[in-house]
Amino acid sequence: MQNFFNALNNFLLIALPYMALLVFVVGSIWRYTSTKFKFSSLSSQFLEGSQLFWGSVPFHIGILFLFFGHLTAFLIPRGVLAWNSHPARLIVLEVTAFIFAIAVLIGLVNLVYRRLTHPRISVVTSKMDYAILLLLLLQVVSGLWVAYNFRWGSSWFSSVLTPYLWSIYALQPDVSAVSALPWIVKFHIVGAYLTVLLIPFSRLVHFLVVPLDYLWRPYQQVVWYWDRKKLRKSWTPWSLQRPRNN
C-alpha cells in the first residue's frame, strides 16, 4: 500500500507536471500556428450580456490576482516571507487573497449557472467548456479550503511549494516535503497541472494572446502587398516579404 501511494505521489507530483508542461508548450505552439481560425476567447456576450457581467468580471479580476499571487510566491518567495514576517501584513495578504478567491467562486458559480440555464448559451457550450468550468470550480473550492484550514498558506507555499516547483523546473524533482502535505493540498496541485495541460485544447488559449501590444501600436493599420515606395524601382527584387495578413 505504501508503495502504491509512493508511486501515485511520484506520478502526480513528478510525471504529471512534466507531461502537463510538455503538452502545454507543444500544444500551444501547434494550436497557435495550425488552428488560427479557432484561436479565440469565444465570447458569448453577444448572445447574453447582463448575466455574464456578474460571472465574467468577478471571475477574471479574481483569477488575475490569484494567478499573479501564486506567481509572486514562486518567483520571490523571500519577498513574500519578508512581507509576512509582520502578523498584520500577513493577515492583510491572506484576507485579500481570500476575498479575491471568493470573487472567483462567485464568478464561476454565475458562469456555470448561466451556461446551464440559458438556452442560447447552452447551444454554444462545448464539453470542454464544462470540463474547464468544473476544473476551475474544484480548484477554487479546494484553494479556499486549504487557505481556511491550513493557515497561513502564503508563508508555507513560499517555503515548501516554491522549492518543490523550482526543483521541477531544475529537472531535479524533489517531492519529499510535498508528499507530506495533506491530500487536499495535493489535490489542488494536481488540479493546477491538469488546467495547464488543458490550456491548448480549450478556450483558455485566449490568455496566451492577451492583447497588450494594443497599448503601443498606432490606432490605424494599413497593410500593403508590396513596399509601395520601392514598387517602381527596377532593382526591386521579387523576393520582398509578404505582409502577415494571410
Partner 1 sequence: MDVRAQISMVFHLDKCIGCHTCSIACKNIWTDRKGAEYQWWNNVETKPGTGYPTKWEDQDIYKGGWEKKNGSIDLKGAGKKKGLLNIFHNPNLPVIDDYYEPFTYKYLDLIESPAMDDQPTARPVSLITGKPIDIKMGPNWDDDLSGTPDYARKDPNLHDLSPAEQEAMFQLERMAFFYLPRICNHCLNPACVASCPSGAIYKRGEDGIVLINQKVCRAWRMCVTACPYKKSYYNWHTGKSEKCILCYPRLEAGYAPACMHSCVGRIRYLGVILYDAGQIENAASDETESLVDRQLNMLLDPFDPGVIEAAKENGVADSTIKAAQDSPTYRFVKEWGMALPLHAEFRTLPMLFYVPPLLPVMASLSKQDTSQGEKMDPIAKFWNDTWLYDTSTEDLWGTIDQARFPLKYMANLFAAGDEEKVKLVLKKLMAVRIHRRGITVGDIAPEKVETALREAGMDAETADAIYKLTSLAKFDDRFVIPPAHREQAIEMLEFTGDTKGSIGFGFKENAERGL
Residues that bind partner 1 (CB under 8 A): 31, 35-49, 52-53, 56-57, 59-61, 119-120, 122-124, 126, 128-129, 201-203, 206, 209, 211-215, 217, 219-232, 245-246
Pairwise CA distance, residues 242 & 223, whole Å? 10
68 near 133, Cβ under 8 Å?
no
Pairwise CA distance, residues 72 & 68, whole Å? 6
**Shortest Cβ 227–partner 1 spacing (Å):** 8
Please identify, using beta-carbon distances, which residue of 37 and 235 lies nearer to partner 1. Answer: 37
**Count of C-beta atoms within a 10 Å radius of residue 23:** 17
Q: CA–CA distance from 213 to each of 155, 217, 224 (Å)?
A: 35, 6, 21
**Shortest Cβ 5–partner 1 spacing (Å):** 35
Please identify, using beta-carbon distances, which residue of 67 and 225 lies nearer to partner 1. Answer: 225
**Shortest Cβ 195–partner 1 spacing (Å):** 16
Please identify, using beta-carbon distances, which residue of 122 and 149 lies nearer to partner 1. Answer: 122
**Shortest Cβ 213–partner 1 spacing (Å):** 7
Please identify, using beta-carbon distances, which residue of 8 and 47 lies nearer to partner 1. Answer: 47
Considering just the CA atoms, what is the radius of gyration of the chain in Å?
23
6 near 157, Cβ under 8 Å?
no
